[in-house]
Amino acid sequence: MPKKPAKPPKPTGGELDLLRVIWRIGPSTVKDVHAAHMHERPELTYATVLRQLQVMHGKGLLIRDESQRSHVYAAAHAQDALQTSLLRDLIHKAFAGSGKDLVLAALSGHITDKERDEIKRFLKENPDG
């Protein structure tokens, strides 16, 4: 019987911020991640980013290429796979397993008119989901 893929570890908010940077710019050195994250969080030092990436590697959120002097970090899980896992947890914990309740809550004042139009267009083009 094939093995079920391991569930991605759950990142903290700060870890998710750094993952979004790595997903956006691709495999990167600590220096690259720090520079790319400076506009969002200018208070983060290089040492803090280094320590956080090391912790994330230990948790299995990142893989690390140590073949160069400057280690290169990459996401261990695709963005959509990790987001799907986090969403599944949120639906289970906050909405008693109801995806419909999550969607209704999200649509109640949390989207722009443009986003609402995009959702309507998506539903019209994809009637079966």
Q: Per residue in 86-122, pLDDT tens?
A: 889 889 988 898 888 888 888 887 788 898 889 889 8
Q: Which two tokens stand for residue 104?
A: 């209704």
Give yes or no: residues 64 and 18 share one domain.
yes
In a domain, 8, yes or no: no
Q: Is the pLDDT of residue 21 over 90?
A: yes
Give yes or no: residues 17 and 71 share one domain.
yes
pLDDT given for residue 28 in this prediction: 96
pTM listed for this prediction: 0.74
Give the residue carrying structure tokens 């691709």: 26
Domain count, the chain: 2
In a domain, 26, yes or no: yes
Write a three-state SS string for 24-76: HHCCECHHHHHHHHCCCCCCCCHHHHHHHHHHHHHHCCEEEECCCCCCEEEEC
pLDDT given for residue 105 in this prediction: 85
Q: Per residue in 49-100, pLDDT tens?
A: 999 999 999 999 999 999 988 899 999 999 998 888 888 988 998 889 888 8
pLDDT given for residue 113 in this prediction: 86
Give yes or no: residues 105 and 54 share one domain.
no
**Angstrom distance (rounded) from CA 21 to CA 61:** 13
Q: Is the pLDDT of residue 129 over 80?
A: no
Q: Which domain holds residue 119?
A: 79-125
